[in-house]
Chain A
Amino acid sequence: MRLYTICVYLFLYIPIGVIALFSFNAGRHASQLQGFSTKWYGKALNNPFVMDALETSLMVAFASALCASVFGTMAAVALQGIKGPVRAVFDLLIYVAVMIPGIVIGIATLIGLVTVFDQLNPLIAAIWPGGFEPPKLRMGMGSLIAAHTMFLMALVVIIVRARLAGMDRALTEASSDLYATPMGTFRQVTLPMIFPAILAGFLLSFTFSFDDFIIAFFVAGSETTLPIYVFSSIRRGVTPEINAIGTMVLGVSLLMLITAQLLLQRGGKKSR
């Protein structure tokens, strides 16, 4: 039994380890170890395409995680206080957002937005004052952030709601009995208690957005995110440079995840 467990852990971590190991390979060939070197990291970090893609990915991940955390938390707090059809509709929307395969979300966003943009662009051009180039709505970073935010919002609502449900109701009641305004209660009682969950939601959202390939593949327009760059490089062949990028991506995700995990655990203990 113990041996089996060890084998499964090896199965889970050997591939990651191999990538990391070969990223320090000095040789040109991806599959022969020839001494230790960090030159592939230097090469990756000096590659303007990689850095551009990294910048796009970081911006998209930050913006969509931020929007998702704020709007998701707002919705979760409001949903806590209501019942009836509105709540049922939101529950259904969250369920659909999480259940629908990412690829279908990507496709729907692509053709939905392109169709809407095709209708809106002539309209904007018509009302735009003469002499200036009218702005043109197109797929790009904006649509990517919007699509990620939609999905991640559902995720944040689920995480924050779980936290709210675990909260002792007596605390907020006590606060309002002591004449705190609803806003005061929220700021001084509710927010500090759900804050670890919000932060964890933010970090998970950031990781998800940063790692997402399939939605970005459809809605990124002419922008290139890091996963899109890596995907197209893999198609051209395996190189030590991709190993280095992969190792860095895994490293960043691991850091975020461990922080999120610690936050969720600490938050969980505090409320008990």
Chain B
Amino acid sequence: MTQRTRNWLLLAPAGTWFLVMLIVPLSVVFIFSFGERAPSGGVVPAFTFEQYANLPARWTAFKNTMTLAPVGTLSALVIAYPLAYFLAIKANPKWKTILLVLVIVPFWTSILIRSYAWIFLLGGRGIPALLDFVGIEGVRLINTPFAVLVGIIYGYLPLMVFPIFVSLDKLDKRLLEASSDLGAKPWRTFVQITLPLSIPGIATGCMLVFILLMGEYLIPALLGGGKVFFVGNALVDLFLQSRNWAYGSAVAVTLVVVMLITVTVYMRLISRLGASREDVSIM
């Protein structure tokens, strides 16, 4: 058996699987998005842009997603950065790994159970009851955009911390010493050295969190109580309740396209930012 045939044999199961379970299904979604709704709930083959023309009907879902996803990403960044900074630069090296693992582990546990925990905490008998006890009355937290935001930050904070930690950990600590030896104040060292060098980590973290948030369903479903809904919630409604496959497919395709465009633009911006910084450093 030549090496060539062996490689083909090794790739065959994975290749077939990707073909049947990824390429075919995604193509079906794409094709159906140009179809028409069948009275029985399926799709009548057609070539029409009717479904896409109808997209504004779900405008609120897109608007909520495109507002809360960036806001959630930025909030997670603001909270994650100091933590990553502490872990990478200030923490005792002996404890570093264990502390990092403690941040990441929650990400790999059930997001369902973790969001459920917040129903518990934000619900009537949780934090509002505590606030009531200290004299602040009538606070309603659950089923508000705030609750969804808290859920988002809680769910995705670990994913933001990790890449930032990696980029700060790689940073040559002698640069920081050199900067302070040359008389720079700590703040200036941070702004001119630490922050710029951690941009790749920030970029990766933001992208990961943003991508996942675009397709989020559980957090708004559990903490938004039907009032704050994302595209994901619209999709569940279209496919599992009203069984409008053609329109649902158009919404799904739009979601993926919007995601791809955002990520591409974002990558361009980041690489331009990186390029201009190099220009500065050459000067």
Interface residues on B, range: 35 or more
B28 to chain A, nearest CB (A): 4
Closest A residue to B230 by beta carbon equals A103
The residue on A at minimum CB distance from B105 is A257
Report the minimal beta-carbon distance from A33 to chain B, rounded to whole angstroms. 11
Are B86's CB and A211's CB within 8 A? no
**B106: nearest chain-A partner, CB-CB:** A12
Interface SS of chain B: helix, strand, loop or mixed?
helix
Judge whether B11 and A113 touch: CB under 8 Å. Answer: no
Size category of the binding interface on chain A: 35 or more
Among the 9-residue stretches B16-24, B187-195, B272-280, the one with 4 or more Cβ atoms under 8 Å from chain A is: B16-24
Stretch at the interface among B53-61, B166-174, B176-184, B251-259: B251-259
Q: A164: CB under 8 A from chain B?
A: no
| Interface 9-residue window, one of A70-78, A120-128, A133-141 | A70-78
Give Cα A204–Cα B107 distance, bound, in whole angstroms: 12
Q: How far is the CA of A71 from the CA of B252 in the complex (A)?
A: 29
Closest 7 CB pairs of A and B: A101-B215, A112-B25, A108-B25, A15-B117, A78-B10, A31-B125, A75-B14
Other CB < 8 Å A-B pairs besides A12-B103, A93-B22, A213-B111, 15 of them? A4-B83, A5-B91, A32-B125, A74-B13, A79-B11, A82-B7, A104-B255, A105-B22, A108-B252, A111-B28, A112-B27, A116-B24, A211-B112, A234-B116, A234-B222
6 chain-A/chain-B pairs, Cβ below 8 angstroms: A5-B83, A12-B102, A75-B15, A97-B22, A99-B259, A211-B108
Contact residues of B with A, CB < 8 Å?
3, 6-8, 10-11, 13-15, 17-18, 20-29, 32, 79, 82-83, 86-87, 90-91, 101-103, 105-106, 108-114, 116-121, 123, 125-126, 129, 154, 157-158, 211-212, 214-215, 217-218, 222, 232, 235-236, 239-240, 245, 248-249, 252, 255-256, 259
